[in-house]
Amino acid sequence: MKRVVLLLTICMLLMISVSLTGAQEMTYSQAPMLDGMDLPELSERLPAEPLVVEPADRIGVYGGTWHMGLRGGNDGALLVRTIGNEGLVRWNLDWTGVVPNVAASYEVNEDGTEYTFNLREGMKWSDGMPFTANDIVFWYNAHATNTEVSPAPPNWMVAGGEIGTVEAVDDYTVKFSFAAPNGLFLQRLATPDGNIVNRMPQHYAEQFHAEYNPDGIEAHLEESGLETWVDLWTQKVSDEWYTPKPTINAWVLENGQGASATQVTAVRNPYYWKVDPEGNQYPYIDYVQLDAGNDTETLVLRALNGEIDMMDRHIATLANKAVFFDNMEAGGYHFYETVPSSMNGMIIALNLTHLDPVKREIFQNKDFRIGLSHAINRQELIDLIWVGQGQPHQLAPRPTSPFYNEQLATQYTEYNVDLANEHLDAAGYTERDADGYRLGPDGNRISFVVDIQTVGTDQIDAMELITGYWQAVGIDGQANVIDRSILYQRKEANQADATVWGGDGGLDVILEPRWYFPYSNESNFAPAWQYWYNNSSDPRAEEPNAGAQRQMELYNELKATADPDGQAALMNEILAISAEEFYAIGITLPAPGYGIVRNNFFNVPESMPGAWLYPNPSPSNPFQYFIEGEA
């Protein structure tokens, strides 16, 4: 009990940037663009106790449009990071604790099996309808536990092998209960995973659900041209960014990011439930505009021309930093720093659960993976591709993490062609064809394709060199540059030979173990094993090897442990097994990152963590950014 009380005390003390007092005595003000609209009085649109948030630097002014750029056909992550991350709780700015958000407060029972959240009375969706505990229960019943739309429940809702329950105690109190302690529940709610709880307004969403609207679902299907109600539900409800819908976000979509969309726009939410210390309703900025493009170069040019107000995603590469620096004065912008949580700038994940039994046998051979790793000249890649920024590194926590494991970080990073050949020989692939390529167990050339998303320009350039390194030791690896959405389709169907991705989990080690064992659909090295972990009845699932199964057992034990020291000990065991298994191949430890912000765009912190689970810049409160004057 002492630990639970201490945790809650710390979380409340960490609410540095949020003031919860004095809201009742405030006089509220709204943006001028709302003055002529047919809306209730502002005091009626706000909850009884709106969340009062201190701006980063100063009180802002209303107006303007925040310009950014989407990349490719599936870039919802940028929208989540900037305009759509409103969980029951959220991270504080420096990522040291969880603070209330949609929930005005919360309580946890002694053993961490019950979490009770007190919502904000009078809070509303963007269409003016009440936001209540019943909407959260609707998410649980209609989505989280409906096996047609969610074959497996969210893993953060599972404790003791059972999915938790959600109950509306009253309109503004919701309780989550678990069969066993759920030690990471609050932290999970603060990540992008947790915001789904608050994204399904029942009054809107139930019309698209077969159980709630059995008589009307066919008419919706006919109108939409979709084949199943599950497809309809995904497009209209669970995909936050495809279709405009009621929301509690600061900005409301005017048009979604369907496959053919060239621009996504959002407008201020007149029912947004946060205010500044002077009673001015957030957000300060009227509109958000994101132009969709098919190449990173276009986004970079727009940024150089001063056409992007604030952004780091896609454009802020090390290779681009020099040109951005040289163009600062002409472009009217400056840098802010992002402190990476990533532990690797480029991971090559062979598919250990490949549908082709020959490739599966080759890829599961640890000596084969070690040989490929020793064949890579990491320092040359760092010097040529990452302008000397970084250091050779495998899939391991960052050196500044308390979970740093030197063996895991440094093993097999030496560039040694002789050693690479020794391991490839030890793998059993000593015979070669007339062109010098090694032959696999079927007598054919060992050849495979490595999928890389089109936005990964650094990784694409690096892969061109890596295929050359591999050819020198008799392995035919070929780069395949494809759109992000296609890459995801291939890996989720377990059709990829290998993929290239970045390495989350360098600082957020416990919350993001995707590269340390087959944990989620982002564990690209073993899709079928992660399906088994998350839903063993999934037809794509395959029982993992002994090491991975032991890691899964340890992580389940960790999730049921409230003691931080106990969690750390279990995580270190998981990492030790990861070092032994050597699932995938890392290249370089990322250097600190950056973003660009126009000189007339204010309240952006000088530095913030850079991570998906954070997810930057969301915890820096984009609703309090503002635009004033010319850059």
Measured between alpha carbons, how far is 421 from 5 in angstroms, rounded to an integer?
57
User: Edge-to-edge strand order for the sheet containing 18-19?
Assistant: 18-19, 51-53, 274-275
Cis preceding linkage at 590, omega within 30: no
pLDDT the model gives residue 257: 79
pLDDT the model gives residue 456: 74
C-beta separation of 319 from 458 below 8 A = yes
Measured between alpha carbons, how far is 149 from 210 in angstroms, rounded to an integer?
11
User: In angstroms, how far is CA 89 from the centroid of its own chain?
Assistant: 16
Rounded mean pLDDT for each run of 10 residues along the chain, 631 residues in total: 39 40 74 96 97 98 96 81 96 92 95 95 98 98 96 90 96 97 94 95 98 96 95 94 95 83 92 98 97 83 94 89 94 95 96 98 98 98 93 96 96 98 98 97 98 88 97 97 92 95 94 96 97 92 98 93 88 98 97 95 96 94 96 76
pTM, two decimal places = 0.80
Helix boundaries (H) for 427-483: 457-471
Expressed in angstroms, the distance from the first to the final Cα of the chain is: 53
Nearest CA-CA partner of 195 in 38, 81, 364: 81
Query: Which DSSP letter does residue 543 get?
Result: P
CATH value of 2-199+240-337+593-627 in 3.40.50.1100, 3.40.190.10, 3.90.1170.50, 3.30.465.10:
3.40.190.10
Measured between alpha carbons, how far is 587 from 415 in angstroms, rounded to an integer?
11
3-state secondary structure of 195: helix
User: In angstroms, how far is CA 481 from the centroid of its own chain?
Assistant: 22
User: Edge-to-edge strand order for the sheet containing 114-119?
Assistant: 103-108, 114-119, 173-177, 165-170
pLDDT the model gives residue 111: 85
**Strand (E) or helix (H) holding 229:** helix 229-233
Measured between alpha carbons, how far is 315 from 266 in angstroms, rounded to an integer?
22
pLDDT the model gives residue 15: 39
Positive or negative, the CA dihedral 378, 381, 386, 389 is positive
Q: Give the E-state strand segments of 302-364 in sequence order.
A: 310-311, 333-340, 344-350
Backbone phi, psi, residue 345, to 5°? -85, -15
Which CATH number describes the domain made up of 344-586? 3.10.105.10
Helix boundaries (H) for 66-216: 76-83, 133-138, 185-190, 202-205
pLDDT the model gives residue 24: 55
Tokens of 80: 């989540």
For every residue of 209-223, which 3-state class applies, written as one string? CCCCCCCCHHHHHHH
pLDDT the model gives residue 4: 40
How many CB atoms neighbour CB 598 within 10 A? 23
Measured between alpha carbons, how far is 123 from 330 in angstroms, rounded to an integer?
44
For the chain, the structural domain boundaries read 2-199+240-337+593-627, 344-586
C-beta separation of 60 from 628 below 8 A = yes
